[in-house]
Amino acid sequence: MSYDHEKQKLTNYESLDNPKLGDYWQEMFCPYFLVVDVKGKDITVLSCLGGPNSYNRKHESCARIEVDKGHWTWDLTKAMVVDREWMAKAVKYGSIEGFCADVWNSEKTVQMAMEWRDWKQKEIRKQIQDLEKQFNDFTGWSILKDGIVA
């Protein structure tokens, strides 16, 4: 399969205008970020661009975890919400026209995004259960429930 630069450029512009679950931005197999959720103008990504070793994104988290030499995975806790402007700055050159990264969207990249969504749903469920316990303890409802004998 040959690389069609013009076709890829159109795909890149389309993805910037209309990001989709599973859009995986990379340059020469070096990961930039993965789109894991899109809600209106808010785009949630797992980004490999930030962190203490980053040149200009030290304040952003890096969701990349080195497993061993040549293998890495995502730290699902480090998702961040960005906008299209952030995306454009990340994947386009600043001084010339064009993209420094390309987007892929495949069954595999959508599966990676769905893994984050499953993890996030479980985390939200845990938070709800913790809040329900706090509510019951605070209001005394847990004592009343435990004291009721049928």
Q: By percentage, how much of the chain surpasses pLDDT 90?
A: 50
| Of 111, 89, 96, residue with least CA distance to 24 | 111
Tokens at 125, concatenated: 């469920």
State percent of the chain over pLDDT 70: 89
Query: What is the number of other CB atoms lying within 10 angstroms of the CB of residue 80?
Result: 15
Residues in the chain: 150
Is 84 a residue whose pLDDT tops 80? yes
The crossing angle, in degrees rounded to 10, of helices 84-91 and 5-17 is 150
Q: Comparing C-alpha atoms, which of 38, 13, 37 is closest to residue 91? A: 13
List the beta bridge partners of residue 73.
Answer: 65
Give pLDDT tens digits for 44-71.
999 888 766 655 566 777 888 888 887 8
Token pair of 141, please?
């409802």
Name the pLDDT band for 150 (thresholds 50, 70, 90): low
Q: Is the pLDDT of residue 144 over 80?
A: no
The Cα angle at residue 6 between residues 84 and 48, in degrees rounded to 5: 40
Direct distance between the N- and C-terminal alpha carbons of the chain, in angstroms, rounded to an integer? 71
Residue 123's pLDDT band (cuts 50, 70, 90): very high
Q: What is the pLDDT of residue 1?
A: 59
